[in-house]
């Protein structure tokens, strides 16, 4: 009997020792992967890499062997929307901000061709953080407009890496949108999930203030001072809302490849209404579990994964929240499907805002200095009103006043708005709470009082009533003053 107990005990010890050793080995494997990868055999037949525009990513590598990947990337300088009505000249890798997503595996050899379109004005290059070699490829890839260059490198470290332009002034090239992500999958590939998306944060600096309409030039002084006018996901206010929103179904697993191009700001990446089941910290091999907010350095990345359990509108934010509600860093992941009261019961919209507490529901009321009385024309009100909308209303009512199902009523073609012209000023000055019905949908939430001057209130209401199919009412400063 005693002998048997001793045998069992020694077997147990052996198992414990083996487990400890194998986890040590696993760590060693991760540490040594780059020297192993150097010697990995590569299938010499070249394969053209699939490149995708955000928010999409190329197909997973699965368990294919290392291969020779041909990456063909074109630099395009072009004017586009920074926000609705705000234009900006972006410098891009592949025509989008962030640039095309590149996906390979450890051991792959990449033959990278960088082309600078002849219509461009400036030389550029590329520094890929996944490259071991001089400047991450920057020197080898330096191209003038109308020129192309090819260089070659082996992917020897797995992870999610940023690439960016490294032509002087480097900060300016990055601020204009020259960054993207390259994923190097580990041996055997990442575990499969149901949905994968590509999201990248960046900060922008414009001559005008946030929301100033028209073509906005880059502002070097603000960039130098790190005073961002816009902090964005995927290069535009509202890129990931409305038709651009991400989607998933209840029960699915979602993986977000999240990068931060900077140039200046660090991202406190958070998804309101979800918890990250797993985070590949800094895009490397270490994993953390059950994380609320993950820090993404400028020029860094993270992979976050979560299973969506209940239908809701998850809100992607930089939890430095003025960037979200005032500078544009807001995206939506719409989860549809069956309710699951075991996990969550109640109104969906409470799930969206509870984490931030009541602070966002109330704006401190201060006396606002009145601008010297200049009566604005309707055109001037429309212009100022649009600016006010993009700064003060956009975060909730979204681009083009489309609203968000179950959370924020639409202002576009709103029957409530058009019926209640006399209440509109009060709503903006004092906020609104209690149940209302807008276009047949019930909303029961709270809108905070807005701190705006009489002129701004009259202008934003004029703008809203004269946009998006509303009834064309014009408001005056006088009317607002009378209601204050």
Interacting residues toward ligand HEC by CB under 6 A: 360, 392-393, 395-397, 408-411, 414, 416-417, 424, 427-428, 432-434, 436, 438, 443-448, 450, 460, 464
Binding segment for Cu ion among 52-60, 109-117, 124-132, 370-378 (CB under 5 A)? 124-132
In the complex with Cu ion, the residue whose CB is nearer, 167 or 268, is 167
Distance of closest approach, residue 239 Cβ to ligand HEC, in angstroms: 19
In the complex with ligand HEC, the residue whose CB is nearer, 256 or 424, is 424
| Residue 167, contacted partner among ligand HEC, Cu ion, none, CB below 5-8 A by kind | Cu ion
In the complex with ligand HEC, the residue whose CB is nearer, 259 or 403, is 403
Distance of closest approach, residue 395 Cβ to ligand HEC, in angstroms: 5
Name the nearest CA neighbour of 455 among 377, 395, 391, 390. 377
Q: Which one of residues 69, 165, 349, 398 is an interface residue with Cu ion (CB under 5 A)?
A: 165
Phi, psi for residue 228 in degrees, rounded to 5: -75, 140
In the complex with ligand HEC, the residue whose CB is nearer, 294 or 470, is 470
| Beta strand ranges found along 186-322 (DSSP E) | 195-204, 214-215, 230-233, 246-249, 253-262, 267-272, 276-280, 287-291, 293-296, 300-307, 312-318
Distance of closest approach, residue 217 Cβ to ligand HEC, in angstroms: 27
Asked whether position 97 contacts Cu ion by CB under 5 A, the answer is no
Q: Where are the alpha helices (DSSP H) in 163-206?
A: 170-175
Asked whether position 175 contacts Cu ion by CB under 5 A, the answer is no
- Please state, in angstroms and as integers, the Cα–Cα distance from residue 309 to each residue in 274, 332, 338, 348, 383, following that order: 9, 16, 9, 13, 43
Asked whether position 116 contacts Cu ion by CB under 5 A, the answer is no
Asked whether position 404 contacts Cu ion by CB under 5 A, the answer is no
| Residue 395, contacted partner among ligand HEC, Cu ion, none, CB below 5-8 A by kind | ligand HEC
CA distance 130 to 299: 12
CA distance 319 to 328: 12
Distance of closest approach, residue 231 Cβ to Cu ion, in angstroms: 21
C-alpha 149 chain-centroid distance: 31
Asked whether position 166 contacts Cu ion by CB under 5 A, the answer is no
Cα atoms in the 13 Å half-sphere on the side-chain side of 254: 25
CA distance 253 to 409: 29
CB atoms within 10 A of CB 275: 13
Distance of closest approach, residue 355 Cβ to ligand HEC, in angstroms: 14
């Amino acid at each position: 009997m005693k002998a048997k107990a001793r045998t069992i005990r020694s077997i147990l010890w052996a198992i414990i020792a083996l487990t400890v050793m194998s986890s040590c080995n696993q760590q060693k494997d991760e540490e040594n992967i780059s020297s192993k990868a150097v010697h990995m055999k590569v299938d010499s037949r070249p394969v053209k890499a699939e490149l995708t525009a955000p928010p999409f990513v190329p197909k997973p590598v699965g368990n294919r062997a290392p291969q020779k990947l041909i990456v063909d990337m074109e630099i395009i300088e072009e004017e586009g929307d920074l926000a609705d009505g705000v234009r900006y000249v972006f410098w891009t890798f592949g025509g989008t901000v962030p640039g095309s997503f590149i996906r390979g595996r450890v051991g792959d050899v990449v033959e990278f061709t960088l082309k600078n379109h002849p219509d461009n004005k400036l030389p550029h290059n590329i520094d890929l953080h996944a490259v071991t070699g001089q400047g991450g490829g920057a020197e080898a890839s330096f191209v003038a407009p109308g020129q192309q260059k090819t260089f070659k490198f082996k992917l020897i470290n797995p992870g999610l890496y940023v690439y960016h332009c490294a032509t002087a002034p480097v900060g300016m090239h990055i601020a204009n949108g020259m960054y993207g992500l390259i994923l190097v999958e580990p041996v055997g590939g990442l575990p499969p999930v149901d949905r994968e998306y590509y999201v990248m944060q960046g900060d922008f600096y414009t001559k005008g203030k946030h929301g100033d309409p028209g073509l906005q030039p880059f502002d070097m002084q603000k960039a130098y001072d790190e005073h961002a006018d816009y902090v964005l996901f995927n290069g535009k206010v509202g890129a990931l809302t409305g038709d651009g929103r991400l989607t998933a179904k209840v029960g699915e697993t979602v993986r977000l490849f999240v990068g931060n191009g900077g140039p200046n700001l660090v991202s406190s990446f958070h998804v309101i209404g979800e918890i990250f089941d797993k985070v590949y910290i800094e895009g490397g091999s270490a994993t953390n579990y059950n994380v609320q907010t993950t820090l993404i350095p400028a020029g860094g990345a993270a992979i976050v994964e979560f299973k969506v359990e209940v239908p809701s509108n998850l809100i992607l934010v930089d939890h430095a929240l003025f960037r979200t509600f005032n500078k544009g860093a807001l995206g939506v992941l719409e989860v549809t499907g069956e309710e699951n009261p075991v996990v969550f019961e109640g109104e969906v919209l409470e799930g969206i805002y509870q984490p931030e507490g009541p602070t966002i529901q109330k704006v401190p009321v201060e006396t606002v200095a009145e601008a010297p009385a200049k009566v604005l024309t309707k055109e001037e009100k429309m212009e100022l009103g649009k600016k006010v909308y993009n700064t003060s209303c956009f975060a909730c009512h979204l681009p083009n006043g489309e609203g968000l199902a179950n959370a924020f009523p639409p202002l576009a073609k709103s029957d409530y708005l058009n019926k209640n012209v006399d209440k509109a000023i009060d709503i903006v000055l004092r906020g609104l709470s209690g149940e209302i019905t807008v276009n047949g949908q019930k909303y029961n939430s709270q809108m905070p009082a807005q701190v705006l001057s009489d002129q701004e209130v009259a202008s934003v209401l004029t703008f809203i009533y004269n946009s998006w199919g509303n009834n064309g009412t014009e408001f005056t400063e006088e009317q607002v003053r009378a209601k204050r």
